[in-house]
């Protein structure tokens, strides 16, 4: 089914977007109680979201009012009619499943909607325009009058409809992402309740991005054309600055430089820099600008008599070109001599200016900056241009990685690279991302951990190996979790978890000293937002999980039965613990009673085997009998930063535990790992006693930078559509 938009519609309503859902062979006769319940819940949500007195000012509804008024109609859009009905306390009528579903989606997303019984349509559906109306027509004429007001609709969807086309419609204040979300939701609802072959498609009236219609973009594009017509190249291939701006500032920070007259005559130090124009002001025969590079700025002074512009045609005024053709955001190169203003500001007297990049889009407002976090994360380049703190954060992240690698290398760890695409995933309990390898016609997985290939390398004879790389888990997104994240994972032959504890402390201490020159990293916030001065100086506190519950929760778990532990937990959490084994009850008590107390660096050791089945049992006979494993987790500010083990290298126990994991997976546990026979074969070859650990780099960066969201330490975090 083709829906076509007439050229005059595209011209008059340039922001128009259509979401098309077509369904064939559907069953629209059966009643669905769940649809009506969802519709009633949506009506209630609308009453909480909007006020009837202000409904006309809701941006998406106002779009339609303005659209109708533009061609002289006093009708109201379908979405306004639905919304008003809900706000008046009335229930939308129960018509038939398909109509109920598209009313539900229309109401929920405040997006206008139309529908057509395809058996009543001849040929394509055309959205077209007359002097007094916007109409849907087919090959035989009028299909629906007054756009989505649904009047005169000869192709209404009835209970006899088996083939239908639904059109969701948005104007300026409906984003493409919102429309796509609503369209997909309608498709999924139809598939679930009515069945049939359902397809979706998005049609954009004007597929060029919105900024092509911005006045700033048009004006800058005109300037670009004028610059080219002058014979100038606004995008040269190369430029060679003699100084980075940050180095220039530090080099001459304490120098007593002469004034502008000395600079004009060439008697002061010469320099050549490049950067983005961030501020500009004209002052008679002079003009001043600030140019920026990696967050560092320097002032530039342009002079009417002295400053020249490269490639500017003879007879053209350089200062006028700079004032009229250079915009904020343009990148320029400047060669000249340094001086200090009367206020002491380091300034470069521009002798020669080169336009390096003409920017066609304006910078964010200089007073308000880039306030919207969604824009900051999605368009990180704007965040970096306007927010020096963002640059500092990512520079710090880079230095953290450099320092970790230096510490690993100095301790004789070998950095390795293992496959991201795997035909067997494992090493953690997590849902993988699934892909397909066409060359071999087989299912592949993005790795969920770095563990198994690294252990195979230990078997192969490498004594110490590590990987610092991306890992992927198909899980939720929140302020401390991103489905794509960076891990440091390492294994050392002949180490145990005590050696690993010492080494983790060294890594954190080395990073702190590299960044701050001290182990005190400053005030940092815990989970509740309380601030604490954190010191990473070695040695750190070490305490068993059981002892920590006794110390912070005043409970000796060895004196409690399983039922007594369940009773304590029932007062702390709503989780059903009726079938939870003893080891996990202990771990739950730890989470509820202890974690938030662990502000300064603390290693929690000796965990119940139920929490960590793939770990070596404790060497102490008493702990071994109680099924305690040699594992520790490192906590700071109540957050976990490291997970480490004395690794299991007994092939018989390893097989038994992996078989159990596979049985859980086959029973429906999507986070349990499949049985990896290749890994078991490697362990059978003989893996030496080994200590291993994993550290989340993103969370580690949050600790050192003081950021409280993982999105602030990842260049391009995953975002929900429309966020």
**151 band by pLDDT with thresholds 50, 70 and 90:** low
Write out pLDDT tens, residues 557-581.
999 999 999 999 999 898 999 989 9
* Site of tokens 């008024």: 69
152, pLDDT greater than 60:
no
**308 band by pLDDT with thresholds 50, 70 and 90:** very high
For residues 638-654, average pLDDT:
95
Number of domains in the chain: 3
The domain boundary, picked from 357, 377, 407, lies at 357
pLDDT of residue 662: 84
Edge to edge, what strands does the sheet with 3-5 contain? Answer: 3-5, 125-129, 134-138, 141-144
Edge to edge, what strands does the sheet with 434-437 contain? Answer: 421-422, 442-446, 434-437
Separation of alpha carbons 293 and 265, rounded Å: 27
Same domain, residue pair 217 and 156: no
pLDDT of residue 208: 81
How, if at all, do strands 308-309 and 346-357 pair? Answer: parallel
**Domain with 309 in it: what CATH number?**
2.40.50.140
How, if at all, do strands 531-535 and 163-170 pair? Answer: unpaired
DSSP label of 432: P
SS3 category, 272: strand
The answer to whether 105 and 186 have CB atoms below 8 angstroms apart is yes
Domain contains 571: no
Nearest to 466 by CA among 697, 640, 694: 694
Write out pLDDT tens, residues 61-115.
999 899 888 888 878 888 999 999 999 999 999 999 999 999 999 999 999 988 8
DSSP secondary structure of 594-609: TGGG--S-EEEEEEEG
Nearest to 312 by CA among 283, 348, 352, 276: 352
Both structure tokens of 134: 């916007």
- State the residue range of the domain holding 705: 392-539+678-712
For residues 357-364, average pLDDT:
95
Domain contains 604: no
Separation of alpha carbons 352 and 332, rounded Å: 10
Which of 194-198, 213-217, 236-240, 388-392 shows the lowest mean pLDDT across its residues? Answer: 213-217
Which of 74-78, 639-643, 701-705 shows the lowest mean pLDDT across its residues? Answer: 74-78
**Domain with 82 in it: what CATH number?**
3.50.40
Residue that wins the pLDDT comparison between 108 and 205: 108
Separation of alpha carbons 713 and 26, rounded Å: 47
CB-based contacts of 273, cutoff 8 Å, min separation 6: 241, 242, 243, 244, 245, 248, 291, 293, 298, 333, 334, 348
The answer to whether 442 and 431 have CB atoms below 8 angstroms apart is no
CA angle (609 as vertex; 605, 612 as ends), nearest 5: 80
Same domain, residue pair 524 and 396: yes
Nearest to 507 by CA among 638, 415, 409: 409
Average pLDDT, the chain: 92
Same domain, residue pair 302 and 202: no
Instruction: Give the highest mean pLDDT range of 68-82, 313-327, 360-374.
Output: 313-327
Same domain, residue pair 451 and 473: yes
Domain contains 56: yes
Same domain, residue pair 198 and 304: no
Separation of alpha carbons 389 and 295, rounded Å: 8
CB-based contacts of 423, cutoff 8 Å, min separation 6: 442, 443, 444, 445
CB-based contacts of 711, cutoff 8 Å, min separation 6: 373, 377, 479, 482, 717
Domain contains 91: yes
Helices (H), 326-468: 373-378, 380-386, 388-410, 451-460
Domain contains 189: yes
pLDDT of residue 366: 60
Q: What is the dihedral of CA 77, 10, 165, 74, to 10 degrees?
A: 20
Which of 147-161, 348-362, 594-608 shows the lowest mean pLDDT across its residues? Answer: 147-161
Percent of the chain residues past pLDDT 70, beyond the cut: 96
Nearest to 169 by CA among 57, 376, 16: 16
The answer to whether 296 and 192 have CB atoms below 8 angstroms apart is no
Separation of alpha carbons 689 and 692, rounded Å: 10
The domain boundary, picked from 207, 241, 257, lies at 207
Would you put residue 559 in left (φ > 0), alpha (ψ -120 to 50) or beta? alpha
For residues 656-664, average pLDDT:
85
149, pLDDT greater than 60:
no
* Site of tokens 């004879």: 461
What element of type H or E holds 673? none
502, pLDDT greater than 90:
yes
Distance of alpha carbon 641 from its chain centroid, rounded? 21
pLDDT of residue 642: 97
Domain contains 482: yes
Write out pLDDT tens, residues 289-303.
999 999 999 999 999
Same domain, residue pair 242 and 192: no
Same domain, residue pair 332 and 452: no
Domain contains 574: no
Separation of alpha carbons 479 and 711, rounded Å: 7
> In Å, what is the CA distance from 438 to each residue of 424, 441, 689?
17, 5, 40
139, pLDDT greater than 90:
no
What element of type H or E holds 182? helix 176-193
721, pLDDT greater than 70:
no
Same domain, residue pair 196 and 226: no
pLDDT of residue 71: 80
Helices (H), 481-561: 497-516, 545-553
Same domain, residue pair 17 and 131: yes
Count CB-CB contacts under 10 A for residue 554: 8
Same domain, residue pair 227 and 81: no
Same domain, residue pair 307 and 398: no
Separation of alpha carbons 476 and 4, rounded Å: 39
DSSP label of 715: S
419, pLDDT greater than 90:
yes
Q: Over the Cα atoms of the chain, what is R_g?
A: 33
367, pLDDT greater than 90:
no
For residues 160-175, average pLDDT:
91
The domain boundary, picked from 184, 207, 230, lies at 207
Domain contains 364: no
Write out pLDDT tens, residues 669-690.
877 788 889 999 999 999 999 9
pLDDT of residue 404: 98
368, pLDDT greater than 60:
no
SS3 category, 282: strand
**145 band by pLDDT with thresholds 50, 70 and 90:** low
**134 band by pLDDT with thresholds 50, 70 and 90:** confident
Percent of the chain residues past pLDDT 90, beyond the cut: 75
Same domain, residue pair 192 and 70: yes
Separation of alpha carbons 106 and 100, rounded Å: 10
Name the phi and psi angles at 701, rounded to 5.
Answer: -65, -40
pLDDT of residue 231: 96
Which of 474-478, 525-529, 631-635, 640-644 shows the lowest mean pLDDT across its residues? Answer: 474-478
For residues 630-648, average pLDDT:
97
**Domain with 699 in it: what CATH number?**
3.30.930.10
SS3 category, 353: strand
Task: Please state whether the peptide bond connecting residue 539 to the residue before it is cis, i.e. omega within 30 degrees of 0.
Answer: yes
Separation of alpha carbons 223 and 226, rounded Å: 5
333, pLDDT greater than 70:
yes
Count CB-CB contacts under 10 A for residue 629: 26
């Amino acid at each position: 089914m083709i829906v076509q938009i007439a050229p005059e519609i595209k011209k008059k309503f340039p922001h128009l977007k259509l979401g098309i859902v077509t369904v064939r062979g559907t069953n629209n006769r059966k009643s669905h109680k769940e649809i009506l319940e969802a519709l009633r819940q949506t009506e209630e949500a609308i009453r909480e979201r909007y006020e009837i007195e202000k409904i006309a000012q809701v941006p998406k509804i106002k779009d339609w009012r303005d659209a109708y008024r533009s061609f002289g109609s006093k009708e109201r859009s379908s979405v306004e009619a639905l919304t008003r009905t809900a706000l008046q306390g009335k229930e939308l009528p129960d018509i038939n499943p398909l109509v109920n579903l598209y009313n539900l989606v229309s109401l929920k997303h405040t997006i206008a909607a139309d529908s057509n019984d395809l058996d009543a349509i001849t040929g394509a559906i055309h959205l077209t325009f007359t002097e007094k109306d916007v109409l849907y027509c087919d090959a035989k004429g009028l299909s629906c009058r007054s756009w989505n007001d649904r009047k005169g609709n000869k192709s209404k969807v009835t209970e006899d409809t088996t083939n239908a086309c639904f059109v969701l419609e948005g104007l300026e204040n409906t984003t493409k992402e919102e429309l796509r979300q609503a369209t997909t939701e309608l498709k999924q609802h139809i598939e679930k309740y009515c069945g049939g072959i359902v397809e979706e498609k998005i049609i954009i009236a004007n597929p060029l991005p919105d900024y092509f219609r911005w006045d700033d973009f048009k004006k800058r594009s005109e300037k670009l054309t004028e610059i080219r017509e002058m014979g100038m190249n606004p995008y040269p291939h190369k430029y060679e600055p003699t100084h980075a701006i940050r180095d220039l500032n530090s080099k001459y920070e304490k120098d007593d430089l002469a004034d502008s007259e000395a600079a004009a005559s060439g008697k002061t130090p010469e320099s050549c820099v490049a950067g983005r124009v961030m501020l500009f002001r004209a002052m008679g025969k002079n003009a001043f600008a600030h140019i920026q590079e990696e967050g560092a700025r320097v002032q530039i002074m342009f002079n009417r008599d002295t400053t020249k512009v490269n490639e500017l045609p003879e007879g053209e005024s350089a200062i006028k070109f700079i004032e009229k053709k250079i915009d904020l955001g343009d990148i320029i190169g400047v060669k000249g001599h340094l001086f200090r203003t009367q206020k002491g500001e380091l300034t470069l007297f521009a002798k020669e200016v080169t336009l390096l990049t003409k920017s066609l889009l304006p910078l964010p407002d200089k007073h308000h900056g880039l306030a919207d976090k969604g824009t900051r994360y999605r368009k990180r380049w704007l965040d970096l241009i306007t927010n020096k703190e963002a640059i500092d954060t990512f520079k710090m992240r880079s230095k953290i990685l450099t320092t970790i690698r230096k510490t690993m290398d100095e301790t004789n760890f070998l950095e390795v690279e293992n496959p991201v695409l795997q035909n067997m995933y494992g090493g953690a309990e997590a849902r993988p991302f699934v892909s397909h390898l066409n060359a071999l016609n087989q299912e592949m997985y993005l790795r969920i951990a770095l563990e198994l290939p690294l252990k195979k390398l230990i078997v192969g004879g490498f004594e110490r190996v590590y990987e610092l790389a991306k890992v992927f888990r198909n899980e939720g997104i929140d302020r401390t979790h991103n489905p794509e994240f960076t891990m440091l994972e390492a294994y050392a032959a002949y180490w145990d978890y005590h050696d690993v504890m010492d080494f983790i402390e060294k890594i954190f201490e080395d990073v702190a000293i590299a960044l701050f020159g001290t182990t005190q990293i400053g005030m940092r916030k815990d989970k509740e937002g309380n601030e604490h001065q954190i010191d990473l100086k070695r040695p750190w506190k070490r305490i068993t999980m059981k002892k920590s519950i006794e110390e912070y929760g005043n409970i000796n778990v060895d004196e409690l039965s399983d039922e007594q532990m369940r009773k304590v937990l029932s007062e702390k959490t709503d989780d059903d613990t009726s079938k939870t084994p003893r080891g996990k009850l202990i771990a739950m008590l730890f989470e509820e009673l202890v974690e938030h107390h662990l502000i300064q660096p603390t290693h929690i050791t000796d965990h119940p085997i139920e929490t960590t089945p793939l770990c070596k049992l404790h060497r102490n006979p008493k702990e071994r009998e109680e099924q305690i494993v040699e594992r520790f987790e490192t906590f700071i500010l109540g957050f976990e930063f490291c997970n480490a083990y004395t690794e299991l290298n007994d092939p018989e126990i390893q097989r038994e535990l992996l078989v159990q994991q596979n049985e859980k997976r086959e029973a429906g546990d999507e986070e349990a790992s499949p049985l990896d026979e290749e890994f078991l074969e490697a362990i059978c070859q003989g893996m030496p006693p080994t200590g291993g650990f994993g550290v989340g780099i993103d969370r580690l960066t949050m600790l050192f930078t003081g950021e409280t969201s993982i999105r602030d330490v990842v260049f391009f975090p995953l975002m929900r559509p429309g966020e």
